[in-house]
Amino acid sequence: MQPTFEPATPADVPVVLQMIGELADFEKLSKAAVGTAAALHEGLFGVTPKAEALLARLEGQVVGFALFFSNYSTFLCRPGLYLEDLYIRPAYRAQGIGRQFLQHIARLALERGCGRFEWSVLNWNESAIQFYQSMGARPVAGWTVYRLDQFALEAFRDTPA
């Protein structure tokens, strides 16, 4: 049986939040997963949605999710898609669902005129790295991700110029 991929609805917020927790556990980042159902609902379905979520269903069961958002390339002068998270529940891995999920999002990117589709992967997640490389994705050489977390943002904002 083939999975279906469909946009999450407001009624799906609890299952998406549950899978975010499962992903955080897998990534050893449980303490960082502090988002709430209300915040997720606002981010996905508020007046100005910040991201989109798709669900993978197999025989009526939610087996995974992808959360992504639009970005923009100044060099290409075209939009792109950034995949924040892709998660397939453990019992459904190694069945081709992740590849089909990414192909679905790649088709969306092309339909939207995107010039690229990007994501990050934890350096220790060898199985994900091998999976991404098997589909033709490559790391972006010469780039390192930088981040100001909430505390750093506040400190930076308040630092005299």
Helix (H) or strand (E) holding 157: helix 150-157
How distant is the alpha carbon of residue 17 from its chain centre? Answer: 13
Task: Write down the catalytic residue from 82, 87, 92, 132.
Answer: 132
**Catalytic residue status for 132:** yes
Look at strands 116-119 and 78-88 and give their pairing: parallel
Angle formed by the axes of helices 37-45 and 13-26, to 10°? Answer: 110
What is the C-alpha to C-alpha distance for residues 148 and 31, in angstroms, rounded to an integer?
17
Distance CA 67, CA 11 (A): 16
End-to-end CA distance of the chain: 59
Beta strands, E only, 25-160: 52-58, 61-73, 78-88, 116-119
**What residues act catalytically?**
132
